[in-house]
Amino acid sequence: MIALPLPKADVLIRRDAVHAGLRVLLPEGCVITDPTRLKPYETDGLSAYRQMPLAVVLPETTEQVAAVLRFCHENGVRVVPRGAGTSLSGGALPLADAVVIGMMRMNQVIEVNYRDRYAVVRAGVTNLGITGAVEAEGFFYAPDPSSQLACMIGGNIGMNSGGAHCLKYGVTANNVLGVRLVTIEGEILELGGTHLDTAGYDWLGIVIGSEGQLGIATEITVRILRAPEGTRAMLAAFEGNEVAGACVAAIIGSGIIPVALEFMDRPAIHACEAFAHAGYPLDAEAMLIIEVEGSVAEQDWLLGQIKEICAGFNPISLKVSQSAEESAAIWKGRKGAFGAIGRISPDYLCMDGVIPTSTLPMVLRRIGEMSVQYGLQVANIFHAGDGNLHPLIMFDANDPASMHKAEAFGAEILCLCVEVGGCLTGEHGVGVENAI
């Protein structure tokens, strides 16, 4: 179970004074205190937990963020930074005595510089919005979490988010050059800039992934990259998790670094295929999505090499995408995985452990045993290139016993991840869920 601190009684008593104080600082319509309008903010992607906040503010400028933080600091009021609220670990979950600072109105792209390959955006710009602003010139912003349509760059900074392509391009921390950070005291700090290496201490490094613990990011300078000439995906289906895991190791050992290398087990394949009709192999125990990039000739050559490696692991089928539409369908299945599981089971816990790739078969076997033991279904999705494992545990939220079991199951998986040399969270953050 998660635990939240007792609200500060002295703050709750001053509720009206806090509301009035915030109204002075912000333009009309930027302070929300009415319970019906607060409702949408009571939870985030970890929707099993809900809590109405003291107030929600929607600042429009860095200066307004600074004014709100200074006010909260002077009055001993807690704050919860919030982007799109897609955190899967409860990172943006409100507290009863806290002001939620929602960044969605700071959604402007300020500057794009193709010559020096960076873009300056406000924290409320969505992840996909950055790529949207530069793709006409053939550029993109690399980290691509599956939630990229909704999640915001400020939230990505909070969680150091990654995506399917981080094997080659890295996570948020590897793609951010500068952050304008407002401290709890209302000071505005310029961390990094538009250059690659910063001198002195690596403040960007400690702030990115700090889950809103150190300050609020209002403006972010990201690297933008020129998109490759083309990309192509292939599907490789196997009879078991072991051989699929061994095949991943063999591909990486061969010196080929695909841009993406994703693993799904049987329950995940079935759920996603029902949702995306991507032609996933329903007879397989395990499937790999492998993507390469470059010119058509380069893609052909790389896929040829990879096919040859896969052939050594007795595959059930190997299918190379023949068109952009087919590749898109393949990814639609993978990126829609959480939604697809949601269609099977309205309630599920999405875990986010990281394990050394070589331990995958063993970890999946243990998770399978736990699944039997707890009597709960689980589907596994794995960013095989970097060891990030997402077991999706299905349960029934209307049954407290089922929910309890799901949480115990999840905790046992995370202990297993640490035990085999991995860690608690790869990209979703610690939040409230893993703080214990």
Partner 1 sequence: MIAPDDEAGIAAAICAAVANREPLSVEGLGSKSGFLRPVQTARTLSTCNLTGIPLYAPQELVVSARAGTTLATLEATLAEAGQHLIAEPPDYAFLDAPAQTIGGIVATNLSGPRRIAWGAMRDHLLGMRAVTGRGEVIRSGGRVLKNVTGLDLCKLFAGSYGTLGVMTEVTLKVLPKPEATGTVLLWGLHPEEAVRAMSIALGSPYSVSGAAYLPQEAAMVMGYERPSTIVRVEDFADSVTYRLDRLATLLGRFGTVEILDTAASLSLWRAVRDAEPLPIQPDDAVWRVSVRPSCGTSVLRAGQSAGLFGYLDWGGGLVFLNGPPTGEAHAAVVDAARHANGAWWLLRAPESLRRARDAVPHEAAALAAIRQRVVAAFDPAGILNPGRMFAA
Partner 2 sequence: MRVQFTEIELEQQRRVKSAFDPEWLLNTAKVFPLQANTPSAGPDDLPRAA
Ligand X SMILES: Cc1cc2nc3c(=O)[nH]c(=O)nc-3n(C[C@H](O)[C@H](O)[C@H](O)COP(=O)(O)OP(=O)(O)OC[C@H]3O[C@@H](n4cnc5c(N)ncnc54)[C@H](O)[C@@H]3O)c2cc1C
CB atoms within 10 A of CB 250: 15
Stretch that binds partner 1, among 47-55, 128-136, 166-174, 398-406 (CB under 8 A): 166-174
Tell me: does residue 95 bind partner 2 (CB under 8 A). yes
Place of tokens 């196997």: 238
Cβ distance to ligand X smaller for residue 163 or 385: 163
Please tell me whether residue 419 binds partner 1 under the rule CB under 8 A: no
Check: CB of residue 48 under 8 Å from CB of residue 403: yes
| Closer residue to ligand X (CB): 21 or 154 | 154
Minimum Å distance from CB 202 to partner 1?
Answer: 5
Q: How far is the CB of 245 from partner 1 (least distance, A)?
A: 11
Q: Could you give the CA distance from residue 130 to residue 237 in angstroms, rounded to a whole number?
A: 34
In the complex, least distance from residue 253 CB atom to partner 1, rounded to whole angstroms = 4
Q: Which does 249 bind (CB under 5 to 8 A by kind): ligand X, partner 1, partner 2, none?
A: partner 1
Stretch that binds partner 1, among 79-87, 121-129, 325-333, 383-391 (CB under 8 A): 383-391
Out of ligand X, partner 2, partner 1, none, which partner does residue 73 contact, by CB within 5 to 8 A per kind?
partner 2
Of 38-46, 143-151, 198-206, 310-318: span binding partner 1 (CB under 8 A): 198-206
Q: Where do the DSSP E strands lie in 239-372?
A: 260-265, 286-293, 317-320, 347-350, 353-354
From the list ligand X, partner 2, partner 1, none, pick the one residue 201 interacts with, judged by a Cβ distance below 5 to 8 Å according to partner type. Answer: partner 1
Instruction: In whole angstroms, give the CA distance from residue 240 to residue 225.
Output: 37
112 forms beta bridges with 119
163 touches ligand X by CB under 6 A: yes
C-alpha torsion sign, points 321, 325, 329, 332: positive
Q: Which stretch binds partner 2 (CB under 8 A): 276-284, 330-338, 395-403, 426-434?
A: 426-434
CA distances from 244 to 121, 141, 248, 272, 318 (A): 40, 30, 6, 18, 12
260 binds partner 1 (CB under 8 A): no
| Closer by beta carbon to partner 1, 53 or else 426 | 426
Rule CB under 8 A: say whether 435 interacts with partner 2.
Answer: yes
What are the residues whose beta carbons fall under 8 Å from the beta carbon of 424, sequence distance 6 or more? Answer: 352, 353, 414, 417, 418, 430, 434
Q: Which two tokens stand for residue 192?
A: 């990094």
DSSP state string for 347-400: EEEE--EE--GGGHHHHHHHHHHHHHHHT--EEEEEETTTTEEEEEEEE-TT-H
Q: Distance of alpha carbon 240 from its chain centroid, rounded?
A: 28
**Under rule CB under 6 A, which residues in 175-214 are in contact with ligand X?**
211-212
351 binds partner 2 (CB under 8 A): no
- By CB under 8 A, tell whether 304 contacts partner 1: no
Comparison of 212 and 391: residue with beta carbon closer to ligand X: 212
4/225 with CB nearer partner 2: 4
Which residue's CB is nearer to ligand X, number 42 or number 211? 211
β-pair type (216-223, 118-122): antiparallel
- Residue 120 is encoded by which pair of tokens? 């300056």
Site for partner 1 in 112-131 (CB under 8 A): 113-118
If contact means CB under 5 to 8 A according to the sort of partner, which of partner 1, partner 2, ligand X, none does residue 187 touch? partner 1
Q: Where are the alpha helices (DSSP H) in 101-218?
A: 127-134, 153-159, 166-169, 203-207
Least Å distance, CB 111 to ligand X, is: 18
Kindly state whether residue 213 participates in binding partner 1, applying the rule CB under 8 A: yes
Q: Confirm or reject binding of residue 53 to ligand X (CB under 6 A).
A: no
| Shortest Cβ 351–partner 1 spacing (Å) | 13
The number of angstroms, rounded, from the C-alpha of 366 to the middle of its chain's C-alpha atoms is 25
Q: Which of 21, 53, 59, 90 binds partner 2 (CB under 8 A)?
A: 90
3 state SS of 122: strand
Candidates 107-115, 140-148, 207-215, 324-332: pick the segment binding partner 2 (CB under 8 A).
Answer: 207-215
Report how far residue 351's alpha carbon sits from residue 201's, in angstroms, rounded to the nearest whole number. Answer: 33
Part of the chain binding partner 1 (CB under 8 A), chosen from 19-27, 329-337, 393-401, 423-431: 423-431
Closest CA to 139 of 117, 161, 121: 117
Q: What is the nearest approach in angstroms of ligand X to the Cβ of residue 220?
A: 8
